[in-house]
Structure 1
Amino acid sequence: MTAEAQAAPVLSYGRLIPVAVHFDDLDALGLLHNARYPVMVERAWTVLWHEQGFGFEGDWEAAGDFCNAVKELRITYEAPVNKPGAYAVHLWLERLGNTGLTYGFRFCSADGAVTYAHGTRVLVRLDAATLRPTSWSERFRAVGRELLRLPD
Structure 2
Amino acid sequence: MTAQAPTAPAVSHGRLIPVTVHFDDLDALGLLHNARYPLMVERAWTELWYQHGVRFDGDWVAAGDACNAVKELRITYRAPVTRPGPYAVHLWLERLGTTGLTYGFRFCSADGAETYAEGSRVLVRLDATTMRPAPWSDAFRTAGRELLRPAG
TM range (shorter): over 0.9
Q: Per-residue displacement from partner, 1:66-122 (whole Å, max 9, x unpaired)? A: 000000000000000000000000000000000000000000000000000000000
How far apart are residue 150 of structure 1 and its match?
A: 1.1
Question: What does 1:1-152 correspond to in 2, within 5 Å?
Answer: 11-152=11-152
**Matched residue, 1:3:** none
Q: CA deviation at 1:15?
A: 0.2
| C-alpha distance in 2 between matches for 1:49 and 1:125 | 14
Alpha-carbon RMSD across the aligned residues, in angstroms, is 0.7
CA distance in 2, matches of 1:150, 1:41: 21
Partner of 2:6: none
Which whole-Å CA distance do the structure 2 matches of 1:35 and 1:12 have between them? 28
1:30 is displaced (CA, Å) by 0.5
TM-score (normalised: structure 2):
0.93
SS of the aligned residue for 2:91 comes to strand
The 3-state SS of whatever aligns with 1:147 is coil
Mapped partners of 1:11, 1:127: distance in 2? 34
Distance 1:27 1:71 in 2: 28
Alignment partners' CA distance in 2, 1:58 and 1:37? 26
1:60 is displaced (CA, Å) by 0.2
Q: Report sequence identity in percent.
A: 77
Figure out how many residues of one structure are paired with residues of the other and give that number: 143
CA distance in 1, matches of 2:59, 2:99: 20
Q: Which runs of 5+ in 1 are unaligned?
A: 1-9
Moved over 6 A (4+): none
In the alignment, the residues of structure 1 paired with residue 61 and residue 11 of structure 2 have an alpha-carbon distance, to the nearest angstrom, of 36
Q: How many angstroms apart in 2 are the aligned matches of 1:135 and 1:106?
A: 27
The CA deviation at 1:23 is 0.4
What's the offset of the Cα at 1:132?
A: 0.4
Name the residue aligned to 1:6.
none
